[in-house]
Amino acid sequence: MHTVVVGTSGVTASDVLAVARADARIELSEEALTALAAARGIVDALAAKPDPVYGVSTGFGALATRHISQELRTQLQRNIVRSHAAGMGPRVEREVVRALMFLRLKTVCSGHTGVRPEVAQTMADLLNAGITPVVHEYGSLGCSGDLAPLSHCALTLMGEGEAEGPDGVVRPAAELLAEHGITPVELREKEGLALLNGTDGMLGMLLMALADLDTLYKAADITAALSLEALLGTDKVLASELHAIRPHPGQGASAANMLAVLTGSGLTGHHQDDAPRVQDAYSVRCAPQVAGAGRDTLAHARLVAERELASAVDNPVVLPDGRVESNGNFHGAPVAYVLDFCAIAAADLASIAERRTDRLLDKNRSHGLPPFLADDPGVDSGLMIAQYTQAALVSEMKRLAVPASADSIPSSAMQEDHVSMGWSAARKLRTAVDNLTRVLAIELYAATRAIELREGLTPAPASQAAITALRKAGVEGPGPDRFLAPDLAVADAFVRDGRLLAAVESVTGPLA
């Protein structure tokens, strides 16, 4: 099994995906253990002094003015976890919780939090044992960290609350820890606070969304190319010299992908045949511009994610010179903005894909295809309602594109008077990614059927590879009406798990 070694300088996006989605094992480096011990020595020294230090010997948030006596500090750390574990709503997905826990461990190992080495090791032990705390959807405002979600994770570390075992069954955390020989942690000065103060949930969801969207943007170039073929469009608009004079990197990459898919097509270039067209509709002609803008948005989001991965987000932080200083680095705005930006780009990509699908089904705009791609129009309805489903998905994605990060509701008696709502931005982006997959699956379903209805014309080899693979996956070609939902589900899985991309790349080589 793949092992991820956590040091003091952060982790990579692939490390997070390996732990969250592939259950990679975790080891703490000697460098991290040394840094943890050194930072803890600073916290212990400050805790022994009579002067109040925020997070070490004081209350939290609006209650930070109270100096906490030594005999109450263990109770203070335990209480902050219990009281902050106040989430509600549906359970958050296992992969999200694993990413959340791993990213908090990454920051703990930076040596800037003051957490004891044994606490960090226990966090790694939980992940390695496949124990996943029950975390609820609502509770984070994306400021002072993803407080409620992280608190539910810290509660499991203490042997309290509920968690899911490696068998997928939810049970009391104390039972699961005992079964795996893990001793619950008794938190000391600053440790409760250090386990809760981070942007880890929103960052984990951003990293997973970026990985999924990387595949989906390539899939969107493929489905756009298939639709162009099915509509007998021209590929001249994809020429590299046209995109070089507007040098947005994503646009050039998207156009090159489409051109690679269409190489050798016998369907392109027929726009001057029976019903001559000077140019194709925007949804076809401008596909690289729209998908390309989304690609460039993802590139910016990756830059933000990489910076966040290299960060130690906590408050207060332990500095190398021995100071423990309060700060505002836990504010989720940088991550929240790009989460919202990705949702906007995904919605627009889905919107243009839906327009191409609708064009394929409209006999007045499809350039010779039967209405709704039906076998016997009137008797058969064809893909009429598949487009309704696609439209419903796109409509929801437009609502999900409304920025969460533009909102703020003050909390903690106005101490935390401006929050990021980054967790909410991440949650809606996950839904948007799921919906985009379904939208592209429906365009794929329609475009492949339409190409097969162009009798006497041969699609590009890459297009034919996609059609053949889809048919082998269990999606039937043109014919009388049948129960469509199972076909669409198979098409969805075909896009989602990368089989569409793999089929095309078997001909074209790697797409950009």
**Residues 436-447: what's their mean pLDDT?**
98
- Report which residue type is found at 324: V
Segment 18-23 shows an average pLDDT of 98
Query: pLDDT, tens digit, for every residue of 372-393?
Result: 999 999 999 999 999 999 999 9
Confidence of residue 60 (pLDDT cuts 50, 70, 90): low
Predicted local distance difference test score (pLDDT) of residue 368: 93
Cβ atoms of residues 17 and 211 within 8 Å = yes
Quick one: pLDDT at residue 62?
A: 65
Catalytic one of 54, 217, 282, 337: 54
Calpha distance 230→495 (Å, rounded): 19
- Gap between the Cα atoms of 281 and 137, Å rounded: 41
The structure tokens listed for 187 are 């938190």
Alpha helices in 453-483 (DSSP H): 461-472
Give the pLDDT score at 53.
76
Helix (H, G, I), strand (E, B) or coil at 136: strand
* 345, β-bridge pairs: none
Spatial contact of 373 and 463, defined as CB atoms under 8 Å apart: no
% of the chain residues with pLDDT over 70: 98
Please give the Cα distance from 152 to 84 (Å, whole number).
Answer: 8
Question: Roughly how many angstroms between the first and final C-alpha of the chain, as a whole number?
Answer: 30
Q: Which amino acid is present at 332?
A: G
Percentage of residues in the chain with pLDDT exceeding 90?
A: 86
419: left (phi over 0), alpha (psi -120 to 50) or beta: beta
Across residues 508-512, what is the average pLDDT? 98
pLDDT of residue 48: 84
Measure the CA–CA gap between 377 and 174, rounded to whole angstroms: 63
CA dihedral (452, 455, 458, 462) in degrees, to 10, reads 0
pLDDT score of 464 more than 80: yes
- Classify the phi-psi angles of 133: left when phi > 0, otherwise alpha if psi is within -120 to 50, otherwise beta: beta
Helix (H, G, I), strand (E, B) or coil at 329: coil
**Cα 2 to the chain's mean position, in Å?**
22
CA distance 200 to 193: 14
Residue 72 confidence (pLDDT) above 90:
no
Helix and strand totals (H; E) in the chain: 19, 9
pLDDT of residue 412: 86
**Tens-digit pLDDT profile for residues 286-312:** 999 999 999 999 999 999 999 999 999
CA torsion through residues 243, 249, 254, 260, sign: positive
For the record, the structure tokens of 502 come out as 């793999």
Q: Comparing 143 with 290, which gets the higher pLDDT? A: 290
- Say if residue 125's pLDDT is above 70: yes
Instruction: Check: CB of residue 508 under 8 Å from CB of residue 263.
Output: yes
Q: Is 458 helix (H, G, I), strand (E, B) or coil?
A: coil
Interatomic CA distance for residues 477 and 127, integer angstroms: 45
Query: What one-character DSSP code corresponds to residue 316?
Result: S
- Whether the pLDDT of residue 271 is over 80: the answer is no
Closest CA to 221 of 284, 305, 288: 288
Task: Tell me which residue has tokens 């703020």.
Answer: 408
Averaged confidence pLDDT in the chain: 95
- 217, 229, 265, 268, 368 from 460: Cα distances, Å: 20, 9, 4, 9, 20
**SS3 sequence of 215-283:** HHHHHHHHHHHHHHHHCCCCCHHHCHHHHHCCCCHHHHHHHHHHHHHHCCCCCCCCCCCCCCCCCCCHH
Examine the residue annotation and report whether 217 is marked as an active-site residue of this protein: no
Q: Across-strand partners of 91?
A: 136
